[in-house]
Structures are given as C-alpha cells and as structure tokens.
Amino acid sequence: MRIIVTSIVVAVLLATAAGAVFSMAQKPVYQARAMASVRIDDPGENLVGPDWSGLHKITPNSTKVSHAERP
Amino acid sequence: MPLRSKVRALGFVLLIVFAGVWPLLLESRAQDAAGEAPNPTAQSVTEQQLLQQRRRIEGRITIPDPNAATLEQPQGRTYQAFHERVLPWIGGVAILGMLVALAAFYLIRGPITLDRPLTGTRIKRFVWIERFAHWLTAASFIILAVTGLNYVFGKRLLMPLMAPEAFATWSQWAKYMHNAFPWPFMLGVLMMIGLWLRDNLPDRYDIEWLRQFGGFFSHRHPPAGRFNAGQKLIFWSVALGGLTLIGSGLVMLFPFSSAGIGGTQVAQYVHATAAMVLVAIILAHIYIGTIGMPGAVDAMVSGDVDLAWVSEHHRVWFEEEGARTADGPQLGQGAVPAE
C-alpha cells in the first residue's frame, strides 16, 4: 500500500511542478498577443454563454444569440 | 397602293421598331431598379466562391496572432460535428458497452478462482520500481480520464446536476489538471515500456492462450509466461495508446507550435478517440485485476503472490523461476522453492 501512496504523491508533485512551469511560461492570449499599438481585452470567463452545446444560431435580425433554435 | 397594303406595311415597320426598342427598355428598367448604377458587390467574388477555391476565408490583420486572420474555416464545423455528435456516441458505446460486457461476464462466469488452495508461500512477482511505474501511470490516467471525459460528457451529465457557476469552476480546474497530469503519465508510460517490453513480446504460448480465451469459460488454465496473452494485449494497448495520447496531447498542449488549425483538429480527433477506447480497455483491466481474479491485485500492491496462484495462472514463468533460482533466493524466509 505504501507504494501506491508514494506513486500518488509523486504524481501530484510532478503535476504541480509542471503546472507551475506552465503558468510561468505561458500567458493568456489577451496578454501574449497584445502589443504597444494593440490592446486585446480580457475576454472574461464564460465565452459561450449558458448554452454549451455549440449548436446555437445567430438570429437574422439580432446580434444576440438565440438558444431556442437548434438544427 | 391600296389601303390594305398600306396597313400591312405600317404594321411591319412598327414590328421592326418595337423589336429593336424592347431590349433597350428592359435594360433601362433594370438600371432603374439598381439605382441607375452598376453594382460591384453583385459582380464581385462571393463568399461561397472563396470557400470553394481556397477552403477557407482569410484576411489581413495587424495583430501578431496569425491565426486571427482566418475568418472562416469549414473544417471547424466538421470538427464541431465530431465533438458534439460522433464523439459522445463513440465514448458512450465504448465505455457503457464495456461495463455491460463486464457485468454480464461476472454474472455468467463469476470470479476466476484457483483449483487448489493457497499454499501460504509467496513469490516476488513485481519489484518496487515496477509497481511504482504502474501506480504512477494509474493515478495519472484516472485523473486524466475523469477530467478528459468532462470535456465530452460534463455539460451533458454534470451540468444539469449543479449550478452553471459550479460546473464552470470545476471545468476550469479540470482543464488545469488535464494539462498538468500528462507529465507523470508520460513518465509512467515510458517506465512501463522500458521495464516490461521484453516480457510482453509474443511467445509460443500466446496463440493457445487466446484460442482458449484464457480458459475463462473452460475453467482451465492455459500455460503462460510472466505475462499471458491477455496481459500482453493490455500492455500494448497502454503502450501504443499511451504514446498516441502523448503525441497528440503534446500537439494540443503547445498550440500551433507544431501544427496549424487543421493539424490541431486532427490531433483532437486522434486524442479523443484513442482516449475513449483506452478508458474502456482499462475498465476491463481494473475488473480482471480486482474482483474478476482474486489474488491478482496482490501482485501490484505488495508485489508478492501465492505460489498456488502463480503456478496456475503463469505456469511457464513459475517453472522458469523455479529452475532459475533453485535455491529460492527470491522467496521469503521459510518459503520453499518452486517444484
């Protein structure tokens, strides 16, 4: 049983270290792609709205997303 | 000239004049309808023509992200259809199908037990580095499987059960874990390949083992070396499937560093499909390693198995080990060498 616990601890440590390296090396696109003349806004957290199906449509007379129509 | 001939001549002249003027009238009316000016938009290349020619619509941008120049890419819709419609079916059929098959197997066959009682003498089957590699891979894979399945089934199965904000928070952390735990998974898979590749090469006992389906239904124990053919299939599934997941996963972990949008979508097809199949295979591995075959889990927990267990399930390896170490240095204190 000790080997199982050891393996889990090592897995968590490796994953934590990888996550820390990632967070130092990578930036969100709105930071990485911004430049002196172009500022990209933080897009927020929920980019898809309440309908996560990816199948919603834009209604013809509105720019708002309609969740009623689905193919 | 008689009056009748005059009327005919006049009618003929009017007919010629009308035939010449009529197309001009039509063109004039068309220009009136168009605001009396040519319409360049109507005559320019349409979006559909661009898509047919170039398979995507791109523009010119001033920000340094070249991918932002792609305005429309129809392959994205193909990927969306795969992710939203095909992939859930692949996963559902593979995972639920495997669970149903295992449940049926358990109900029909029951656990695979030994023909003789345990001896109480144990033999070392896996040393600590082998068990460490196994559990490192297993722990990482379980986390990767749960967080990966959330991509496909989370919004369908979990989101109705919790608040959208809670699901969003869970999914965000699941994504972090899915990006972090591939590294111990990679280490574990590479260690297992290095440790067990040689013992998992095909040998002469495999065909017979497969022909008897491991003796699962005949209640016999076909001869097997250190790993039987079923275990070898699991090993190669994990090795090849793991390498497939690692390769396709690295393409997605570092977006657009080694592939464009098309290559990234192909990587997602491969990654998601291989993951669903591997999850189903590992379910079978977990079943046979626990309730399906009593005593099997000891090999990966303590590393030791009973002599009766190994002599029935891995007879050839048992005899080889007995012959190789006749004095029994691998046995515990008080143990007897294999016959």
Render pLDDT for A12-65 as a digit per residue (tens, 0 to 9).
999 999 999 988 887 777 777 677 766 666 666 666 666 655 555 555 554 444
For range B69-77, the mean pLDDT:
79
The answer for residues whose C-beta is within 8 angstroms of residue B212's C-beta and 6 or more apart is B218, B220, B222
**Are A15 and B183 inside 8 Å of each other by CB?**
yes
Task: Tell me the Cα Rg of chain B.
Answer: 35
- Cα-flanking dihedrals φ and ψ of residue B148, to 5°? -70, -40
Of B140, B168, B172, the CB nearest to A11: B140
What is the pLDDT, as a whole number, of residue A25? Answer: 81
Residues of A in contact with B303 (CB under 8 A): 3
Of B80, B139, B168, the CB nearest to A11: B139
For chain B, give the mean pLDDT: 85
What is the pLDDT, as a whole number, of residue B279? Answer: 96
Interface of B with A in 71-110 (CB under 8 A): 80, 83-84
Residues of B in contact with A29 (CB under 8 A): 65
Q: Is B328 left (phi over 0), alpha (psi -120 to 50) or beta?
A: left
Best probe of the A interface among B141, B143, B146, B183, by most A CBs < 10 A, is B183
Render pLDDT for B26-47 as a digit per residue (tens, 0 to 9).
666 666 555 567 777 777 777 7
Closest approach of A58 to chain B, Cα-based (Å): 15
For range B93-113, the mean pLDDT:
92
Render pLDDT for B289-312 as a digit per residue (tens, 0 to 9).
998 888 888 889 988 888 888 888
Dihedral (Cα; B91, B93, B94, B100), 10-degree rounding: 130
Of A16, A33, A55, the CB nearest to B65: A33
Interface of B with A in 204-233 (CB under 8 A): none
Instruction: Identify the three-state secondary structure at position B72.
Output: strand
Closest approach of A66 to chain B, Cα-based (Å): 18
Residues of A in contact with B187 (CB under 8 A): 14
Position B270 pLDDT exceeds 50: yes
B61/A contact by beta carbon, under 8 A: no
Of B84, B140, B301, the CB nearest to A55: B84
CA-based nearest residue in chain B for residue A49: B164
Question: Which has the minimum average pLDDT: B7-21, B35-49, B85-99?
Answer: B35-49
B159/A contact by beta carbon, under 8 A: yes
The span from the CA of B196 to the CA of B146, in Å, is 26
Render pLDDT for B150-186 as a digit per residue (tens, 0 to 9).
999 998 899 889 888 888 889 999 999 999 999 999 9
Residue with tokens 């012959």: B323
CA-based nearest residue in chain B for residue A17: B180
A38/B contact by beta carbon, under 8 A: yes
Interface of B with A in 106-145 (CB under 8 A): 128, 131-132, 134-136, 138-140, 143
The span from the CA of B222 to the CA of B34, in Å, is 86
Residues of A in contact with B183 (CB under 8 A): 14-15, 17-18
**Are B83 and A54 inside 8 Å of each other by CB?**
yes
A11/B contact by beta carbon, under 8 A: yes
**Are A54 and B84 inside 8 Å of each other by CB?**
yes
Q: Angle at Cα B286 formed by Cα B282 and Cα B288, nearest 5°? A: 115
Q: Is the torsion defined by CA of B182, B97, B235, B337 positive or negative?
A: positive
State the pLDDT confidence band at B338, using cuts at 50, 70 and 90: very low
Q: Which of B302, B182, B193, B141 is nearest to A3 (CA)?
A: B302
Furthest C-alpha separation in chain B: 144
State the helix-helix crossing angle for A2-25 and B164-180, rounded to 10 degrees: 100
The span from the CA of B70 to the CA of A59, in Å, is 23
The span from the CA of A56 to the CA of A50, in Å, is 11
Interface of A with B in 39-68 (CB under 8 A): 40, 45-46, 50, 52-55
CB-defined contacts A:B, below 8 A? 74
Cβ proximity of B289 and B300 under 8 Å = yes
State the CB neighbour count (10 A cutoff) for residue B182: 23
Residue with tokens 């969003």: B168
Distance from the Cα of residue B78 to its chain's centroid: 17
